[in-house]
Structure 1
């Protein structure tokens, strides 16, 4: 499985769409009161999601699918483990996101703040003022928020999909010039706490890109 295809939906997002705030985001056009209420609802939900686990299915731009287990522990920690035959593992320890190949026993690291995982894992869920919420859409039983880089330094967008009653994260879509990568959460369970070992980097990193 191609590394970029496997991980694009989790870390390969333009830098403008990283640790920032729904509460402080700019808007491509004035939002209605109802749209703003949905933005506030999504913000409150993400802020309250402290520990969770579940399953995901990821579809790359070519239509190939992979799936696996995920674990979230805010602030800062996450684990995405892809099912065999994939050998990819993504772990955030609070400072770095480590991209591991469990078969080759190699690891590359990226500062958490330079990845879209920072959106889910921040102490205070926010999008910075360089991010534009370009669209609020109603879905069957839910809604979506589409965000882009307001500074126009990068191309691409992130669409987060939520259920409405009750509010819940259903997944997200990362769109770049290479196409769209979709991540659908097939289950999400809030938990009281998770084993710290889940968020440990499995091997010494071969390469670190950037600083936290």
Structure 2
């Protein structure tokens, strides 16, 4: 997998949810209220689908369709000509590329997806909130791994009215940031379980004669 494609895939689904050694103090009551509001919203987002646009640190953008089914399941299906599909199946996140014939698997708990695919959303556990920033029409929550095992950080962007998760970004140890913008994310029901079953493209490769 090339550097660019590796950055795209890992930035979305396999970058460790951890952060630099930032000073952290107690959140103000107003900041804590926003964190609690975000957690309540995420807890209620049991099934959803929409579109996403992902931009890597080099400015290259790709887009596709996203499906969420909490707890533990998500699918990011990239538009053609990309052959990449990222699937969280409840235990792991797989990154499959039918063009490059690659298939990589990562523990769900080591990815940003684990934060909002958990059965019980608790933004005061496992992660440390390092900032709550107000933006026009919403707010951004910046978090890192509470254990500080690896460098990097995650920023979740929320819209206030109606309440919605609209974007997130992952920054790695080298300061490279991958951004994911969600478009038209809406609640859904009855999503097919097959969407969240990873498929290894190498198994469908024609046998050589």
Normalised to the residue count of structure 1, the TM-score between the two structures is 0.85
The question of whether the paired residues in 2 share the 8 Å contact of 1:109 and 1:205 is answered with: no
User: Does residue 62 of structure 1 match 2:64?
Assistant: no
Structural mapping, 1:45-194, within 5 Å: 45-127=41-123, 129-176=125-172, 177-194=174-191
Q: Which runs of 5+ in 2 are unaligned?
A: 204-209
Structure 1 contact 161–171 (Cα < 8 Å) conserved? yes
Q: Distance in 1 between matches of 2:27 and 2:38?
A: 15
The 1-side partners of 2:127 and 2:198 are apart by: 30
Structure 1: which 5+ runs fail to align?
18-26, 207-212
Relative to structure 1, the CA distance from residue 154 to residue 197 in structure 2 (aligned partners, 3 Å threshold; closer, same or farther) is: same
- The structure having more radius of gyration, on CA atoms, is 2
Q: 2:207 is matched with which residue?
A: none
Which residue does the alignment assign to 2:206?
Answer: none
User: Equivalences for 1:188-203 in 2 at 5 Å?
Assistant: 188-203=185-200
Deviations 1:162-190 (A, max 9, x none): 00112110110111114111100012010
- Give the match's secondary structure for 2:13: coil
**TM-score w.r.t. structure 2 length?**
0.86
Instruction: Output the CA distance in 2 between the equivalents of 1:104 and 1:39.
Output: 40
147-156 or 133-142, which moves further after superposition? 147-156
